[in-house]
Structure 1
Amino acid sequence: GAVQLIGMDYNDDNAAKAAEQTAAVLSAHPDLGGIFGTNLFSARGAAQAVANAGLTGVVKVANFDAPEDAIVALRENVVDIVIAQHPYEMGEKCIEFAVAAVNGNFDAIPKRYPTGYTIITRENVDTEEAQRSIYKSE
């Protein structure tokens, strides 16, 4: 069948609030098929609520942002997909565009610059590309 959006919740970047909101949505919509957490706090809270409800593997969780705990959740089947941004590339491009601006070379700065992403699944999590995309503190 068709996918139906049932709503959005804003959690002020608070994983505990996201977990509460998700628990309420799971209660109100027992046939919910999936959740998209638009940042690491949203996804962390959503995944926790899904696990707490005993719905791991039933309610699919897509996670935007790739901290190491998201990869643990992926391996534990709590999260089904992790979309990793490329923060190094973002920083690199910001510096490049800032230098161009300081030098008055505005034509070198695109109006929009898509930074790309890596989709991490259980099938590819151990590949070099996926491992390179996980946010790790060194």
Structure 2
Amino acid sequence: MSRFANVAYILGTLFFLISCFFSIYYGYKVVTHKLPTESNHLEKYKYHFVLVPEEQDNEYWRLVEKGARTAAEKYDVLLEYVGPKQANIDEHVKTIEMSAASKVDGILMQGLNDEQFTPLIDRVVEKKIPVITVDTDALNSKRIAYIGTDNYYSGYLAGKAMIEETHGIANVAIITGNYYKNHQIQRVKGFQDAVKKEKGIRIITVKESDISRVRAAEKTHQILQDYPEVNAFYGTSALDGIGIAQEVEKYKMKNSMTIIAFDTLPETINYIKQGIIKATVVQEPYEMGFKSVEMMIDLIEGRKVPTIVHTNTRIMRAEDLQVSHMDRREIKR
């Protein structure tokens, strides 16, 4: 073997060993981050709760987490924030199953889909682990309580905002995050019921974005090509509104298009300031997280907990931004 071949062989071997080391190291970090800790090893904490978000790095859910962590620190609770990196029903279910197997004291979770989540929640509660749904309810399950937005009402508010902004005359396209998620379904239903008596408002089509601003923009582009009569959009998740606004801005349709969005991500606020988004629905994720921890403690300690607690929901327009500075807790999904 030549000297050059020997050097190449040695370098290749070193590269392989280093790659293996980092693969094992980061793989270990990912796994240990996702797996809930056994409750019986947590003597220094009063309780051990798990908060399972729709997706970990979603800005809305980070606000829910922030509120929950503030409450957890106040009441000496170990709070683990674990779940899928991106929205995925199967991973969501597995995380809840692992949490139950780890014998946590309580699970805070989103009730996304009746068919999959109702039997899952029922199995967890039958194991004497209380479940509180946050943001999205699973009303038909044995969950103990729900705290979050009245999603039907929030959709209804969006519909009323559409009527006001268009004076009751519009051809509307709806872009929704998912067809199968309870909160998205309710937001569409509330909107439809709000506008159904308005003879001048027609809902032309409903498209799904998979809660992706890229997909929302693609669907907007497709709608504008297929339905040139559309002059108004309603997006049922924060990323939908942003994706819609990007396309409207791209084609310079600001003055001919009405957009009603959801939540107050920084991009949404900027589009409201520019007059591209006319109004958005505001929720309270920080409050949801904080109160969900308090409710779980009350539940465990035998105090009465209401089965449904609706947090505040309202409409925000450009004039509202001029009245006061936006509370940082209003950065949403």
Instruction: Normalising by structure 2, report the TM-score.
Output: 0.38
Distance in structure 1 (CA, Å) of the matches to 2:310 and 2:231: 29
Which residue, 307, 318, 332 being the options, matches 1:111?
307
Which residue, 14, 28, 31 being the options, matches 2:212?
14
Distance in structure 1 (CA, Å) of the matches to 2:286 and 2:314: 13
| Percent identity of paired positions between Structure 1 and Structure 2 | 23
The aligned amino acid for 2:255 is: G
CA shift digits 1:52-98 (9 cap, x unpaired): 22211311111101011111111111111122211121112211211
Task: Find the counterpart in structure 2 of residue 94 from structure 1.
Answer: 292
Task: Find the counterpart in structure 2 of residue 58 from structure 1.
Answer: 256
Task: Find the counterpart in structure 1 of residue 279 from structure 2.
Answer: 81
More helix by share: 2
The aligned amino acid for 2:323 is: T
Task: Find the counterpart in structure 1 of residue 270 from structure 2.
Answer: 72
CA shift digits 1:21-75 (9 cap, x unpaired): 0111112222213111111111111111111222113111111010111111111
SS of the residue aligned with 1:20? helix
Runs of 4+ residues deviating >2 angstroms? none
1:5-44 paired onto structure 2 within 5 Å: 5-44=203-242
Residues 13, 41 of structure 1: 8 Å contact kept:
yes
Distance in structure 2 (CA, Å) of the matches to 1:111 and 1:6: 37
Distance in structure 2 (CA, Å) of the matches to 1:20 and 1:14: 10
Residues 19, 46 of structure 1: 8 Å contact kept:
yes
Residues 23, 53 of structure 1: 8 Å contact kept:
no
Distance in structure 2 (CA, Å) of the matches to 1:2 and 1:85: 29
Task: Find the counterpart in structure 2 of residue 131 from structure 1.
Answer: 326
SS of the residue aligned with 1:62? strand
Q: Which runs of 5+ in 2 are unaligned?
A: 1-198
More strand by share: 2
Q: CA deviation at 1:118?
A: 3.2
Instruction: Normalising by structure 1, report the TM-score.
Output: 0.85
Distance in structure 2 (CA, Å) of the matches to 1:57 and 1:94: 42
Matched residue count? 133
Distance in structure 2 (CA, Å) of the matches to 1:127 and 1:91: 27
The aligned amino acid for 2:293 is: I
Q: Which runs of 5+ in 1 are unaligned?
A: none
Q: Which has the larger radius of gyration?
A: 2
Distance in structure 1 (CA, Å) of the matches to 2:292 and 2:330: 20
